[in-house]
Amino acid sequence: MMDMATETLSGLRINGQRLWDSLMTLARIGATPKGGVARLALTDLDREGRDLVVGWAREAGMSVTVDRIGNIFMRRPGRNPALAPVMTGSHIDTQPTGGKFDGNYGVLAGLEVVRTLNDRGISTEAPIEVAVWTNEEGSRFVPVMMGSGVFAGAFSLEHAYAATDTQGRTVRDELQRIGYIGDEEPGAHPIGAYFEAHIEQGPVLEDAGVTIGVVQGVLGIRWFDCTVRGMEAHAGPTPMGLRRDALQVATKLMQEVVACAHRHPQADGSNHGRGTVGMVQVHPNSRNVIPGEVKFSIDLRNHTDASVEQMAQDVKAFAQTLSKLTGLSIEFKLVSSFSAQQFHAECTEAVARAAARLGHSHMPVVSGAGHDAVYAARLAPTGMIFIPCKDGISHNEVEDATPEHVTAGCNVLLHAMLERCGKVHRAH
């Protein structure tokens, strides 16, 4: 054994064709006619996908363990077994009309890192593990990010086991049925650091023409249901001055939800505020009746809990003024709240350094969507690598990414992980 010269190491590259072929092979399991993938969590297809990936891991000399929520950990030993593994991974379950890359890329990029190290006879000080987290999508079983959530202690194993699909089948029964209910206690597994490669699922990188997104963290979220109550009345006989039109008041408030997201730029000029009204119910929803009641959803996001809270306060203050002005009641109900998660500087910097060393354009980005890395970040220093996806579209059968970007992201993953693995050696 010898210490690898820095030049040798910096010349190390993954096999992009092999990674692409693996992605396309896995995408055949549950392939849809429109070129997407439907491989819902804990179905027979999920089992087939898991079996394929686990088989590949064993061929690459990795040992495989499964925990009680069905998370799979595929391990390549390090020279020092006492060190916590440097972990990467993602999920292979998809939406009903999902794509080939969401989640699958993170798992197979991890496998490609291991295959590359095997090819070159390179050993690392810390072990390397590739995780396949159970039910990230939350499409068949709620909550989302179930496997990583149980692993991080965000909710209990019993809570996850009890979740049922529309047919009344439970997570526990389905895990049992597909043979992926392991005996390892979730969370018993140490993590030294965690990296996850993922398609961006948004349009920022493509718009900027940049290859690598250095993910700084995941946006915090507040979900409200809002109800505006007026008085329904005939559209003809009721003069404008005597109306209590709930929709006219509601639309003013909806405008404010979006305006307040525009108003929250950061010190560095970037703006991670997001304000969305995606669901509206008008009562009685009739052409010639003044709307008496409007219910709508509010989705607020920002990169710190303080800034998302400030947005919520702004919207509520606006509603209060509006209510006084119009005499209509406006009610808010908090439906869900997710904390913002900043990633660890050591990991985000490792990703940025790797991208720079490899000569890839890169920029700091935030993730507007949740990922398994959010829960991993509660346990260990964590970072994510984004690559562009076509037109920013994901959770859709047309989801696409280029082989060049897929390769670039995996190379960044390789070098960021090696940096965290400590001394790297190559066999003679």
Binding site for Zn ion (CB under 5 A): 102-103
Q: How far is the CB of 237 from Zn ion (least distance, A)?
A: 54
How far apart are alpha carbons 343 and 217 in whole angstroms? 5
Nearer to Zn ion by C-beta: 46 or 102? 102
DSSP annotation string for 293-304: EEEEEEEEEESS
Nearest of 336, 37, 365 to residue 211 by alpha carbon: 365
Q: How far is the CB of 105 from Zn ion (least distance, A)?
A: 9
Burial class of residue 140 in the structure, from the number of CB atoms within 10 Å of its CB (0-12 exposed, 13-18 middle, 19+ buried):
buried
> Which two three-digit tokens encode residue 404?
């060049």
Q: How far is the CB of 143 from Zn ion (least distance, A)?
A: 15
Nearest of 156, 44, 62 to residue 118 by alpha carbon: 62
Nearer to Zn ion by C-beta: 103 or 292? 103
Nearer to Zn ion by C-beta: 102 or 293? 102
Nearer to Zn ion by C-beta: 50 or 172? 50
> Which two three-digit tokens encode residue 393?
């579209």
Nearer to Zn ion by C-beta: 145 or 250? 145
Neighbours of 207 (CB within 10 A): 10
> Which two three-digit tokens encode residue 422?
């400590």
Q: How far is the CB of 362 from Zn ion (least distance, A)?
A: 21
Task: Tell me if 213 sits within 8 A of 295, measured CB to CB.
Answer: no
Tell me the residue number closest to Zn ion, measured at CB.
Answer: 103
Instruction: Report cis status (omega within 30 of 0) of the bond before 143.
Output: yes
Q: How far is the CB of 379 from Zn ion (least distance, A)?
A: 19
Nearer to Zn ion by C-beta: 277 or 369? 369
Q: How far is the CB of 392 from Zn ion (least distance, A)?
A: 14
Q: Which residues contact 33 (CB under 8 A, 6 or more apart)?
A: none
Nearer to Zn ion by C-beta: 100 or 189? 100
Query: What is the enclosing helix (H) or strand (E) of 253?
Result: helix 246-262
Specify the residue for token string 């890192």: 113
> Which two three-digit tokens encode residue 148?
């990583």
Q: Name the DSSP letter for residue 31.
A: B
Q: How far is the CB of 370 from Zn ion (least distance, A)?
A: 9
Radius of gyration, alpha carbons of the chain: 24
Nearer to Zn ion by C-beta: 85 or 103? 103
Q: How far is the CB of 42 from Zn ion (least distance, A)?
A: 16
Task: Tell me if 68 sits within 8 A of 182, measured CB to CB.
Answer: yes
